[in-house]
Amino acid sequence: MNRLALYLDLIRWNRPAGWLLLLWPSLSGLWVAAGGFPGWHLLTVFVLGTILMRSAGCCLNDVADRDFDRHVKRTAQRPVTTGAVSVREALSLGAVLALLAFGLVLTTNAVAVAWSFGALAVAIAYPFAKRFFAMPQAVLGVAFSFGIPMAFAAVQSQVPPLAWLLLLGNLFWVLAYDTEYAMVDRDDDLRIGMKTSAITLGRFDVLAVLLCYLIYLSIWAVALYSLAQTAILLIAITLALGQVVWHYRLIRERSREGCFKAFRLNHWLGLTLFLGIVIGLVK
């Protein structure tokens, strides 16, 4: 039971915000691709696949960052960092979870299977991007948005321009919330030489976060305007904008607590747009 508790801590089982941030755009893409309810099979594949791949990503991320995490207040007690879970254990668990997710993809079609390798490549690249790129959050943005083209591939056996437009918009949402996340650890990251968007943007961090939110919502509004009921879509966008204002109030002083709370609450914004799409596509 002690090992199980450590493994659950490793995959952040008690902190679902991470996989919810993956889930809502993936399900939004699924509903848009299908023009409504996509069926129980695909819904199950994408819900379980999202949870499995997020968990596998945590395993890889903690192994890659174990020498950095011990110097950061928020991450110093992670199981791999403390040695409670070995590198081999973490990688083995991550591999098993990724294989289970791949097994789910195999129940869809050849196009989705082919695109799953691209999704895996980006997921593997992200933990190392923060060592080399000034804005590693952009890499995470691609990784956390790849469920959208995967959804279109699973439903339509193709990835049309609409899927890439939604991915582009979602990338800006990831930039917004992961910059909030990076603002929590900025002091520690500066000390250990880590590269993050919060450091790169400097005093323009809050402004950049707000702009990213607005670009995200604008792109999705344009992409979905002719597909969903206009009134429902506008209500969802308005509610999302209200949450953006709330996030601004949380991060404007750049406190650790405020920035972390803003990050954790982002899944409600994703849920708002998803519900707008679900209701707006009802015929």
DSSP for 13-72 reads TT-THHHHHHHHHHHHHHHHHHTS---HHHHHHHHHHHHHHHHHHHHHHHHHTHHHHTTS
**pLDDT digit of tens for each residue in the chain (283 aa)?**
688 888 898 898 888 888 999 999 999 999 999 999 999 999 999 999 999 999 999 999 888 878 777 777 777 788 888 888 899 999 999 999 999 999 999 999 999 999 999 999 988 888 888 777 788 888 888 999 999 999 999 999 999 999 999 999 999 999 999 999 989 988 888 887 778 888 888 899 999 999 999 999 999 999 998 888 889 999 999 999 999 999 999 999 999 999 999 999 999 999 999 999 999 988 6
The domain total for the chain is: 1
Where would I find the H helices in the chain? 2-10, 17-34, 40-64, 66-69, 79-82, 87-105, 110-129, 137-143, 147-156, 161-184, 186-192, 197-201, 205-224, 230-251, 256-264, 266-280
Residue 137 pLDDT: 86
Burial of 117 (0-12, 13-18, 19+ CB in 10 A): exposed
Chain position carrying tokens 């961090």: 205
* Residue 134, domain extent: 2-280
Per-residue model confidence as pLDDT tens digits over 83-96? 888 999 999 999 99
Per-residue model confidence as pLDDT tens digits over 133-171? 788 888 888 999 999 999 999 999 999 999 999 999 999
What is the CATH number for 194?
Answer: 1.10.357.140
